[in-house]
């Protein structure tokens, strides 16, 4: 038997209660609480002190997709909701996802709606997920909503995977450049310096600069390492923990050369695809646009798109509201206008999203080809400086000896 700490509410009065209970699993702990007239909010096992548990139980995108798709399949096959949740939870291998599944099951069996059960875990299930769950419950198309969620999560994961994959080759080239430069500076330049010193000759200016840089690196490597690590940590905290840092990073993404257009298409396609999913399941226009804006995940773009929400509330159509928005590519409002006239606005937004998704795939496939010549020029320039700084003095010595 394991001991679990729980937070719950009395079913009759709604009064919050917390305590501990013994059970074989979180699911059984939830059932015991329900039998005692309590509605569980959270159930956490006692005694978990391993520092690696949190990392090992981290819920990956793959775990998330599998949970969603399996639940959609079972509900679509006609199984009751509780049976579907129980089966999916039992089949889930990730401990973190399994624990959440057990809490959702306990909440559903206690009388909560599926939307309420999922809403207790906002860090795992975002606003798009919850909105589609709610719309699916109301319309009786929960399996379809879950399937769309799984499909979209797979598309997003594939897109991010392609972006990371396209950056692998440039990263390898960059590492090679740094390795060659370090080798030349620490293995070749000192030998040339010693040779000139033995002969009592004065080093050329370029070579002397490389020698000074090498000596500084050898003597103050700890300072260089401290600056690099401190700068990286400081930048991470600035970007991740402060609103100004996040805004700076988000603005950099959409304006950086070569990649800015890529990010803009990513955000536009994400907005259009999310709106298409929400509208097709019956979510109201204002709610759909609001949630789609949150799904963009870029504060600068979100602030601009939020102006469209105010215009829609004021009676404007979606196409009119998006037409003059900065960072909004023209095809989306054009297709939205066609959809408004034909009554198929969700379908038209989906087509616009597909156009930009296809363009993204093509651009991502060409990233390595586009970056390669730039890196080659940088590599040739840097190595040329080091090679020049080592070969020029050798040629000077040869000429002086010949003379």
E-state strands within 111-151: none
* DSSP H or E run through 382: helix 345-402
d(CA 132, CA 343): 21
Give the pLDDT confidence score for residue 50 in this predicted structure: 42
| Cβ contact 286:316 at 8 Å | no
> What is the token pair recorded at 147?
């399937």
Exposed / middle / buried, residue 398 (Cβ in 10 Å: 0-12, 13-18, 19+) = exposed
d(CA 115, CA 109): 13
**Tally of CB atoms within 10 A around 88:** 25
Distances (CA, A) of 113 to 105, 137, 286: 10, 8, 23
Give the pLDDT confidence score for residue 54 in this predicted structure: 43
Below-50 pLDDT ranges, the chain: 48-56, 403
Helix axes 299-313, 243-255, angle to 10 degrees: 90
d(CA 50, CA 103): 22
| Cβ contact 270:156 at 8 Å | yes
Give the pLDDT confidence score for residue 53 in this predicted structure: 40
Give the pLDDT confidence score for residue 163 in this predicted structure: 75
d(CA 304, CA 321): 11
CA-wise closest residue to 150 among 214, 68, 207: 68
All structural domains of the chain: 2-125 (1.20.81), 163-403 (1.20.81.30)
Give the pLDDT confidence score for residue 55 in this predicted structure: 41
**Tally of CB atoms within 10 A around 309:** 17
Q: Please say whether the dihedral angle defined by the alpha carbons of residues 244, 266, 72 and 289, taken in this order, is positive or negative.
A: positive
Residue 44, SS3 per DSSP: strand
Going by the DSSP 8-state scheme, the letter that residue 14 receives in this structure is: -
> What is the token pair recorded at 21?
């209970």
Residue with tokens 């700490």: 5
Residue 251, SS3 per DSSP: helix
| Cβ contact 274:299 at 8 Å | no
End-to-end CA distance of the chain: 92
Distances (CA, A) of 316 to 9, 52, 213, 309: 44, 52, 63, 9
Give the pLDDT confidence score for residue 401 in this predicted structure: 56
Whether this model's pTM surpasses 0.75: no
pLDDT in tens, 320-363: 999 888 889 989 999 999 999 998 899 999 999 999 988 888 88
Give the pLDDT confidence score for residue 46 in this predicted structure: 65
DSSP string, 257-311: TTTHHHHHHHHHHHHHHHHHHHHHTT--HHHHHHHHHHHT--HHHHHHHHHHHHH
């Amino acid at each position: 038997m394991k001991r679990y700490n729980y937070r719950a509410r009395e079913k009759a009065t709604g009064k919050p209660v917390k305590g501990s209970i013994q059970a074989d699993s979180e699911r059984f702990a939830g059932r015991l609480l329900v039998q005692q007239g309590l509605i569980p909010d959270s159930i956490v096992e006692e005694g978990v002190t391993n520092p690696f548990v949190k990392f090992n139980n981290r819920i990956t995108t793959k775990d998330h997709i599998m949970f969603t798709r399996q639940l959609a399949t079972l509900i679509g096959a006609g199984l009751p909701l509780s049976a579907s949740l129980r089966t999916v939870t039992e089949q889930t291998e990730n401990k973190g996802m399994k624990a959440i599944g057990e809490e959702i099951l306990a909440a559903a069996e206690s009388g909560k709606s599926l939307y309420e059960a999922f809403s207790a875990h906002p860090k795992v299930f975002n606003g798009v997920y919850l909105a589609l769950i709610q719309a699916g419950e109301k319309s009786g198309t929960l399996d379809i909503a879950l399937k769309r969620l799984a499909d979209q999560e797979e598309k997003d994961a594939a897109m991010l995977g392609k972006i990371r994959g396209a950056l692998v080759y440039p990263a390898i080239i960059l590492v090679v450049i740094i390795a060659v430069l370090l080798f030349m500076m620490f293995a070749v330049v000192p030998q040339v310096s010693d040779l000139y010193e033995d002969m009592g000759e004065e080093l050329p200016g370029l070579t002397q600069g490389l020698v000074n840089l090498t000596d500084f690196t050898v003597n103050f490597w700890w300072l260089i390492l401290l600056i690099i690590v401190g700068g990286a940590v400081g930048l991470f905290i600035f970007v991740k923990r402060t609103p100004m840092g996040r805004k700076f990073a988000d603005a950099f993404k959409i304006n950086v050369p070569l990649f800015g257009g890529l990010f803009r298409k990513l955000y536009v396609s994400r907005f259009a695809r999310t709106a298409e999913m929400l509208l097709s399941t019956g979510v109201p226009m204002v709610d759909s646009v609001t949630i789609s804006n949150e799904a963009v995940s870029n504060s600068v773009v979100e602030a601009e798109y939020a102006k469209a929400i105010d215009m829609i509330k004021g009676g404007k159509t979606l196409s009119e509201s998006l037409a003059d928005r900065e960072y909004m590519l023209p095809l989306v409002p054009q297709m939205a206008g066609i959809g408004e006239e034909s009554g198929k606005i969700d379908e038209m937004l989906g087509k616009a999203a597909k156009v930009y998704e296809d363009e993204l795939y093509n651009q991502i496939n060409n990233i390595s080809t586009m970056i390669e010549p730039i890196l080659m020029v940088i590599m040739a320039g840097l190595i040329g400086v080091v090679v020049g700084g080592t070969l020029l003095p050798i040629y000077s010595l040869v000429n002086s000896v010949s003379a």
